[in-house]
Amino acid sequence: MKISARNRLKGKVVDIVKGATTAHVRIDIGNGVIVTSSITNEAVDELGLKIGADAYAVVKASDVMVAVD
Amino acid sequence: MKISARNRLKGKVVDIVKGATTAHVRIDIGNGVIVTSSITNEAVDELGLKIGADAYAVVKASDVMVAVD
Amino acid sequence: MKISARNRLKGKVVDIVKGATTAHVRIDIGNGVIVTSSITNEAVDELGLKIGADAYAVVKASDVMVAVD
Amino acid sequence: MKISARNRLKGKVVDIVKGATTAHVRIDIGNGVIVTSSITNEAVDELGLKIGADAYAVVKASDVMVAVD
Amino acid sequence: MKISARNRLKGKVVDIVKGATTAHVRIDIGNGVIVTSSITNEAVDELGLKIGADAYAVVKASDVMVAVD
Amino acid sequence: MKISARNRLKGKVVDIVKGATTAHVRIDIGNGVIVTSSITNEAVDELGLKIGADAYAVVKASDVMVAVD
């Protein structure tokens, strides 16, 4: 499946914490940068996410803000 | 201002395209990765964004999906 | 690519309107239901979207609200 | 109340799972399609959502992505 | 229609700027606070939005971040 | 940090409820209006949010819908 989302950041899963319904998954995209994602527990199971596995952090352009110091 | 958004990816602005109301800003976060952001033209002006300037791509964790090949 | 987004509604592209930077794409998911998507013009080009083509409307669960009459 | 969100998919509630703060509500919009929504427990209570009740899945156009096989 | 979105801020429309596909609508919610919304031109037309009219800015709780100085 | 998000509503934290992974924070922005935010527990801790403290509810314009009665 090819998706319209402009941002697909490749990395490795470094942390998975499941809550009651919502999980937090952390992906190391290299260069010391960790991206945190909040998805359903169900998605974690369906994708078979495991620590150390390859994965992408995917973000729609309209969900990216810009900041300056 | 410190913000709750979990993801603040540091980089440099490499492209700014203004539309009628909505602009696309691209930020090079290093390692060959470019993040695309869709924000208002007004925000581009207010932040004084310029190509080559330092900037962060900021994303709330609940807006990050995970994908696998 | 398999994505964590819980909602992948299969249909056919019935309308594409490009703006200056942002396009509106309509997908007929059957049963008389049309889903409207606002994505970048660039994504329309990259996916090669055409009227009549098969496509999915994809939505993260945290972006779905519920309403009652 | 009339809302600007372009997508209001009519269906019936088929599942409600409350977590500690966040609930997952599934709505069958017909044609074998189930939409999953992640909302606050509080919203579930305020709307009085019950399995079998009529409900809409509501999505802003800018939160809809497009994918192709 | 009653919606799950936790935030419905009542005010008056003070500005409408239509772009090619995307409009910016500003709502004065009182106390000197103006909320800016980016919606489709089509939604502006369908709701019949006019400067001076009563309107609500509606935001899902998962789209609200928190910041501190 | 200056952020592109168009909406920064100043107020005071009036409620914090932590779930397993996701917290609900309520901010009183004056005039009897309470804004509800759903963020990670981790963000609550990192920002040191406390009831009674000054805080902003921050929302990207593309996440604001408009409704009329």
pLDDT at B55: 98
pLDDT digits (tens, 9 = 90+) for D33-46: 999 999 999 999 99
pLDDT digits (tens, 9 = 90+) for F42-69: 999 999 999 999 999 999 999 999 999 9
Question: Could you tell me the pLDDT band of residue A50, with boundaries at 50, 70 and 90?
Answer: very high
- Across the interface, do E36 and F6 touch by the CB < 8 Å criterion? yes
Distances, alpha carbon A2 to alpha carbons B52, C63, E20, in Å: 31, 20, 26
Question: Could you tell me the pLDDT band of residue B35, with boundaries at 50, 70 and 90?
Answer: very high
- The Cα of E21 is separated from the nearest Cα of chain B by a number of Å equal to 9
| H/E run at residue F65 | strand F65-68
pLDDT at E41: 98
Pair C61, A40: CB distance under 8 Å: yes
pLDDT at A44: 98
Name residues of chain C where pLDDT drops below 50: none
pLDDT at D7: 98
Q: Which residue in this structure is represented by tokens 């090819």?
A: A2
* 3-class SS of residue A1: coil
Which residue does chain E place closest to F22, by CA atoms?
E62
pLDDT digits (tens, 9 = 90+) for E3-58: 999 999 999 999 999 999 999 999 999 988 999 999 999 999 999 999 999 999 99
- The Cα of D10 is separated from the nearest Cα of chain C by a number of Å equal to 9
d(CA C61, CA B63): 10
Question: Could you tell me the pLDDT band of residue B47, with boundaries at 50, 70 and 90?
Answer: very high
Those residues of chain D whose CB sits closer than 8 Å to some CB in chain E are 1-6, 8, 37-40, 42-44, 46-47, 56, 58, 60-62
- Across the interface, do C18 and E19 touch by the CB < 8 Å criterion? no
- Across the interface, do F47 and B4 touch by the CB < 8 Å criterion? yes
pLDDT at F63: 98
Question: Could you tell me the pLDDT band of residue B45, with boundaries at 50, 70 and 90?
Answer: very high
Mean pLDDT score, B4-24? 98
Mean pLDDT score, B28-57? 97
- The Cα of F3 is separated from the nearest Cα of chain A by a number of Å equal to 4
Residues of F in contact with B4 (CB under 8 A): 37, 39-40, 43-44, 46-47, 58
d(CA C33, CA C31): 6
- Domains of chain D by start residue, with CATH: 7-59 (2.40.50.100)
- The Cα of E35 is separated from the nearest Cα of chain D by a number of Å equal to 15
pLDDT at E21: 97
